Structure 1
Amino acid sequence: MEKELHIENNEKEQTILNLVEDDKVLNQLIKGKLVKAGYKCDSFYTGKDYIEYIENCQELPTLLLVDYNLPDMNAPEIINQLNALKKGIPFVVLTGHGDQKIAVDMMKRGAIDYFIKEQGFLDLLPSLINQAVNRLKVTRQLADSQIALRKSEEKYRTIFENISDIFFELDESGIILEISPSVETAFNFIRKQVINQSLFFDDKILQQFLSIVQEKKIVSDFEIAVQTPLNKKVFCSVSAQVMISNEDASPRIVGIMRDITERKHAEIAIKESKEKYKQLNAEMAKQKLELEIEKRKTEKLLLNILPAKIAEELIQKGFAQPQYYKQVSVLFADIEGFSHIVRDFSPIELVEKLDEYFYEFDEIIEKFKIEKIKTIGDCYMCAAGIPVRNQSNPIEIVIAGLQIQQAIEKLKHKSLSKKHTPFELRLGIHTGEIVAGVV
């Protein structure tokens, strides 16, 4: 109780009362009672004095106690002048007799209450003032709450009407109970026409959406495509949840739709780019494989027509550096009278015949690691001591030449047995210095 009394006394000290009463004795008695009760009170005897005081007053009183009839003016006139000065002060009217007409008139003018100056009035006054101050406090709190509520409503109404996202409220079956005006700019729907209609999703999508919301009570980033009245497809992200009001037991689905068309188009473009990149990579891989196959064919061809060392140098560097060899043995061979013999053979027979002879030559020189240089028509050329240097190349080339002559003799007998014109071979060998390279 002491704590409550202390708080009450603090509130009284902060409460400023003004008293306007022309009866000087009663004025001081009332003031004394109020000060004794813990209130701060300033008193005045005439309406004129009080108006002059208020005109220069920096802090308006909490409550004004004004006698209805004063020598210079009455209570309504004082209130009118205060209102003209824009000094609206809550007031209580003091009257000498209970006049219902006066009471009604003053209550219409905004009086909080009116007190009759009758027997026992002074004893009841502190309690009456306390009730009036409390009523005034409640009234002000209510007014402040209403102002705050109105501002809040205005704020959220402004947000509701100007938000670019689409706010909506549905019943359980998907009927639109409320939707923000942005539905008109986003989707070209007329707001009044869609309220009390089913949400403008495809029926199957709507049922899927409602099923998820009702099961999980909340859904986030549910993506849908809305077909507008202008036959334009707008992609949206929908987030919603089930809400139950204390005033209404039936659930409501409240949510927001956000236009994500630009994001969706970007995602589609990225997906298409990735697909093109994937196809390009596959095509590049295919081309790379084809190039690798061609490269291997080229390398194989080079290895067939050039010494391995020279071929590798060409593959790695793109060229072969000419090399000096101090001792190399070269064998030259051709068919004697070839230009006359060819007349006895068809082109196919001639090629087959040359292939038969040169195949034997290749077999022989390969045994001695002699390098075949070239064949031109009936001419055959090979060299020993290149690209791998050695001192035995004259012996190797001579032995190879002798074996080639032996092979020619066998081939001659074979041709004669088939009644074909045999080939006569001319063969020469030279040993000396050379510079070898690929031209």
Structure 2
Amino acid sequence: QKGDVFSFSIILEEIVLRGGPYEVAKQFLSTEEILKRVQDRECPSFRPDVSGTDCPHDVKILMEKCWLDSPEDRPTFETIKVNIRTIMKGYCENLMDDLLRRMEQYANNLEALVEEKTDQLSQEKRRSEELLYQVLPRPVAQQLMAGDMVQPEQFECVTVYFSDIVGFTSLCAQSSPMQVVNLLNDLYSTFDRVIGAYDVYKVETIGDAYMVVSGLPERNGDNHAREICKMALAILEAVQSFTIQHKPDAQLKVRIGIHSGPVCAGVVGQKMPHYCLFGDTVNTASRMESTGQPLRIHVSHETKKILDKFETFDLELRGDVELKGKGPVTTYWLLYCSEPPRGAMSPQNLSDNAETYPYPLIFPELTINK
């Protein structure tokens, strides 16, 4: 029927604009107002507003012919089919082919979109993993990411390092808050670069205190004492050449304390999980630091006994020191390590006139031929 042709033109408008009948006019007129204007047979007739950019020109012409005011002027469906085939000839042979083509395009676009989103998800996952690895030891972080519970674990012997800035309170009083933040950021960034060369894990920084441990979460035999002490010597070298940006003439001084013994370690908290150490060993290491002296490495007798096995560390007896809760204990000063550089250089490769200098700035060791 001729009325069906008019209905077809309105359906075609809905397809083109992806909306309801008279989609554009509905923004300004009510449904009743639209019906009245159509019934009034205005001149020119009131029809949907379809822009030439909304669809191909041939489709727009066909649509306008189908909604002509006079039914006799409208094309028949046979004519419409011929026109549609002519319009679609450049795309496909029939409507089913066109439908399949559109579905294939949609699938390809969807596949590309999924691939893009998957890549973004992978990048975000890598960033999250790297952030977690900075907060927790890698084996512990991997357990958490796998959805496993990290059980507290007892370690028979590890070595704990503590250091803090001598006179930090007075330094803060002479500095602005931003200067203090910049100082700690510069100093701890230097420390972080140093400890990267050793088998150690930075537990935390609290104010001016810096805590490091070796021997967990992966055990390394007696190497924990050697790793911490070599790291401490490297940090001491770095501190001696460290420049305070807002006080370039001042010499930064730190105290360092080291102790070896058993600890219990585990992840505490859920919103902000933290890998914590518990036990008397931690307290003793902190006491070793607080009873030490500026720019010196204070070592307990327990750590000294382990270092003696390597025969490469030079320690000086300090004597008995009163530690809170323990009474007098024998302690030592760590002076240097005579081990050769790591890597390709081995003891047998050193020439007879080579001298090993202990710990230049940041690098663990340096051998210089005279």
Would the TM-score normalized by the shorter structure come out above 0.5? no
State the structure with bigger RCO (CA 8 A, min sep 6), 1 or 2.
Answer: 2
Q: Is the radius of gyration larger for structure 1 or structure 2?
A: 1
TM range, smaller chain:
0.3 to 0.5
Which has a greater percent of helix?
1
